[in-house]
Amino acid sequence: MLEVKNLMVFFENALALNDFSMAVDEGQIVGVIGSNSAGKTTLMNTLSGLILDMRIKEKRRGGERITIYGQILYQGKEISHVQPSERVKRGIVLCRERHPVFGESRVMENLRIAGYLKTRSQVRETVEYVFQVFPALRELKWRKAGFLSGGEQQMLAIGMALVANPSLLLLDEPLLGLSPMMQNMLVDAIKGLRDGAGITVVLSEQFARPVLPMIDHGYIIENGMLTLSGTGQELMDNPEVRAAYFGV
């Protein structure tokens, strides 16, 4: 479904991704695990196409130069130069880190805004699905998003991505800053997206402990470079991974 070949991203002379390659099969949950500043968010922005907008904005204001090399293939077609809006239409949807919601708008309004490319009937159908995935949001649908807890905002952010009807859902650090209970709830919801709706998921995360048991395949990234890959179980059993991410 998705194939990344020898991806390299430079911010001026700083190398954010270095010859990174990965493959994602349809119906999988694939994890990209790494510490802060490992290159995870750069990877997600590049897969979604946001890096192209960032490059244009930096060029206009005379900021740092962003250079991209390598290939991104989606359903067999090269999309490296496809704009992010077109990628959304093709089914690639990114849920960014840090709960990117419209704080002054109500939960229901946030969900409707996310469906701007869909018909009203499609939005109604997918919003109902979001409430099935995250039942807590149904009780909060008329509350302003800015008054939600961090975990509730993360549910809403993922719900907004779901309203866009993704075939490939990109989740950038979905567990960041959440309590263990909320992390477990989100992990169950993410597994439900694959098992119930057949959505392919790529998630980046620094918290390996709750993520590795649910992923089909994982990639360990350090300083922008791929250092290890394997199934979730293989990575859990690897002593280097256990020492680095489990403290054992």
Q: How far apart are CA 164 and CA 93, in angstroms?
A: 7
User: Beta partners for 9?
Assistant: 17, 68
Lookup: tokens for 22: 């990965």
DSSP string computed for 63-108: ---EEEEEEEEETTEE-TT--HHHHHHHTEEEE-SS----TTSBHH
User: Beta partners for 17?
Assistant: 9
Note the pLDDT tens digit of each residue in 39-88.
999 999 999 999 999 999 988 888 889 999 999 999 999 999 999 999 99
Answer whether 0.85 is exceeded by the pTM. Answer: yes
Please, what CATH class does the domain formed by 1-91+168-248 belong to?
alpha beta
Residue 180, pLDDT score: 85
User: Which residues 6+ apart lie within 8 Å of 181 measured at CB?
Assistant: none
DSSP string computed for 174-231: TTTT--HHHHHHHHHHHHHHHHHH--EEEEEES-HHHHTTT-SEEEEEETTEEEEEE-
**Sheet with 14-24, edge to edge strand ranges:** 14-24, 2-11, 66-74, 77-78
Residue 181, pLDDT score: 85
Segments in the chain below pLDDT 70: 99, 247-248
Note the pLDDT tens digit of each residue in 234-247.
999 988 888 887 76
Burial 122-139 (b: 16+ CB within 10 A, else e): ebeebbebbbebbeebee
The H-or-E segment that residue 168 falls in is strand 168-172
Residue 245, pLDDT score: 79
Residue 247, pLDDT score: 63
Q: How far apart are CA 31 and CA 173, in angstroms?
A: 10
The residue extents of the domains of the chain are 1-91+168-248, 93-165
Residue 59, pLDDT score: 86
User: Which residues 6+ apart lie within 8 Å of 147 measured at CB?
Assistant: none
